[in-house]
Amino acid sequence: MFPALPKTVSFALAAISGFICDWAFPDKNLWFLAFVSIAGLVVSIARESAAWNFFIGTTWGIAFFLPHIAWAEYAAGGTLPWIALSVSQALFIGFAMWVFTIIRRWERISNNMGFSALAFAFTWVSVEALRMTIPWGGFPWGRLGFSQSDSPLARLAWLGGIPLISAVIAVLGFLIAAAIFAALRVNMWRVGLALSACVALIIVPFTVPLDTQAQSGTLNVAGIQGNVANPGLGAFANRQEVLNNHVAGTHAVAGRDTTQPLDLVVWPENGTDIDPQVDSTASALIDEAAQAVGVPLLLGAQEYPESGGRYNVSLLWQPGVGVIDRYAKQLPVPFGEYIPHRDFFRKLYAGVDLIYTDMIAGQEIAVVDVPVARLERTVPVAPIICFEVGYDDLIGSAVRGGAEVLFVQTNNASFGHTNESTQQLAMSRLRAIETGRSVLHISTVGVSAMYTPNGVEIARSGHFTAEQLVGSLNLRTSLTPAVVVGKWPVYIVSAGTVLMLVAGSVAGIKQRRSRRQMGTSTTSKKPGKK
């Protein structure tokens, strides 16, 4: 469909395009660069060679992921894990470009700009879903949709979640590339058609209805950001200090002069690394703080079962009673919270043993029932723990399970003064729109924030500060289209991608046979020697 560029130009363009894609995400938030970056990638893969386009896609991916997850080097305390993770994710982009190259051999795709753009989007969304699944539960960071928290496209999350936003970005990038090539050919009709489609895709999200009204009352919440003294790998070396900081923040909230009585206090992930269910000192400190505010406390903690391992949990603490409900993280982070195939990877990198106790996956959906005296009922809430905010179905299942508000409890202390915190915060904002739920995103060190169900920020903390966010969150029970349909659109898109891949493979075989036959025919017609 597009003329091929010299290989050196394609390589350089792919590298530059991948690099600027990171600028679409926090902290730069130049969201429109996501479209430009994808356009550059599309231009770079104009050659017919699937192997070459795999290389180009991987190049784009490495140039994107290295800066995008630079915080991985800081958190892991070494360059090797950061580079290994970046390259592994870049290979998925290379695979996507290989797949699309095969697909466009089907003439129905290659001869139609609209079909080509949709095929590219289908491929991109399918491979994003794949890299969120394998290996070891996948890795959700760097999905195109997560770049649009400040963009008009964010409103599409209500309709189809992050996959729909990613798909629209892919289409926009493809159409921009088509417009560029049409302009070079002075085909102004084609330029106008492509750019008109781009404008429509930017305008359409404004028609998406985003309801923010309370449907089942409001919840008055305080989020406690306790802070730590030493960011980085040693952030939780002094577990007692971290617990004390969150206890002190809770007492500070209790001493506030406010006309709105609190219903719940929320601590972040790792608000205490000392299990209050077995440690009497931690239990006494937490219960004293809970009794001071006079409401339940939802706190992030660690559990160490006698059978071994550990759970990353969100505990619901009732003043004077103790733990009355809990949620255990369902998706521990490989190489961050547990080490798969430890003996093998120890040979490659001795640092794996910094994680000396592997985390166990919880089995229950993320719903905890909070007794709220003011409302005279229990309120089901969704405690989402750290990286779980990146996984669509985990959050969707919690909302379908009755959660009326989302609490994203996270610990960003290990990532230091990097932009991992704000990247994650952008995900929470999009989740508010996607689920039609208010969100409290509370971190040990920040950045923490509160969002209305349409993604409007109503409170925000600093980074590496001790603060308390207090606000009233609207409770909602209706389900957005994105939550209702769940994973089915991605299943359908993935199935469509596989079918197009088969059709493209068959078309490619026919094309090669035709070329061979033409070559044989040409050879047979040559006059022989006399």
Catalytic residues, which ones? 269, 329, 386
Residue 525 — pLDDT band, cuts 50, 70, 90?
low
DSSP summary character for residue 466: -
**If DSSP codes are grouped into helix, strand and coil, which group holds residue 35?**
helix
Could you give the percent of the chain with pLDDT greater than 70?
Answer: 95
CA angle 527, 528, 530 (to 5 degrees): 120
Q: Average pLDDT, stretch 205-220?
A: 96
Number of helical H runs and strand E runs in the chain: 16, 12
| Cα(337)–Cα(329) distance, integer angstroms | 11
pLDDT for residue 295 is more than 50: yes
Q: How far is CA 98 from CA 54, 69, 91, 101, 125, in A?
A: 5, 24, 10, 5, 14
**If DSSP codes are grouped into helix, strand and coil, which group holds residue 377?**
strand
Nearest in space to 359 (alpha carbons), one of 298, 390, 313: 313
- 336 vs 13, which has greater pLDDT? 13
Q: Average pLDDT, stretch 516-526?
A: 67
Look up residue 136 and give its amino acid: W
Nearest in space to 231 (alpha carbons), one of 411, 69, 441, 26: 411
**If DSSP codes are grouped into helix, strand and coil, which group holds residue 148?**
coil
Nearest in space to 390 (alpha carbons), one of 223, 145, 25: 145
Look up residue 163 and give its amino acid: P
Q: Average pLDDT, stretch 119-133?
A: 97
Q: Count other C-beta atoms under 10 Å from residue 287's C-beta.
A: 18
Residue 239 — pLDDT band, cuts 50, 70, 90?
confident
Beta-strand ranges (E) seen in 338-448 are 368-372, 377-385, 406-410, 439-443
pLDDT for residue 467 is more than 90: yes
Average pLDDT, the chain: 92
Residue 529 — pLDDT band, cuts 50, 70, 90?
very low
| Cα(221)–Cα(64) distance, integer angstroms | 38
Domain ranges for the chain: 7-209+488-516, 218-476
pLDDT for residue 349 is more than 90: no
| Tens digits of residue pLDDT in 401-430 | 999 999 999 999 989 899 999 999 999 999
Per-residue pLDDT at 238: 75
Per-residue pLDDT at 357: 83
Per-residue pLDDT at 530: 42
| Tens digits of residue pLDDT in 245-278 | 999 999 999 988 777 899 999 999 999 989 999 9
Provide CATH code, domain 218-476.
3.60.110.10
- 351 vs 102, which has greater pLDDT? 102
| Cα(278)–Cα(109) distance, integer angstroms | 62
Per-residue pLDDT at 373: 94
CB burial of residue 493 (10 Å; 0-12, 13-18, 19+) = buried
Cis bond upstream, residue 67 (ω within 30):
no
Whether the Cβ atoms of residue 396 and residue 371 lie closer than 8 Å to each other: no
Rounded to 10°, the helix 113-131/488-524 angle is 120
Element (H, E) at 457: strand 457-460
Any idea which residue has 């660690």 for tokens?
A: 302
| Tens digits of residue pLDDT in 72-117 | 888 776 788 899 999 999 999 999 999 999 999 999 998 899 999 9
Residue 12 — pLDDT band, cuts 50, 70, 90?
very high
Per-residue pLDDT at 524: 59
Q: 290 CB contacts (<8 Å, ≥6 apart)? A: 250, 265, 296, 297, 317, 318, 319, 320
| Tens digits of residue pLDDT in 360-400 | 999 999 999 999 999 999 999 999 999 999 999 999 999 99
Beta bridge partners of 323: 317
Nearest in space to 475 (alpha carbons), one of 253, 226, 212: 212
Per-residue pLDDT at 307: 87
Per-residue pLDDT at 74: 83
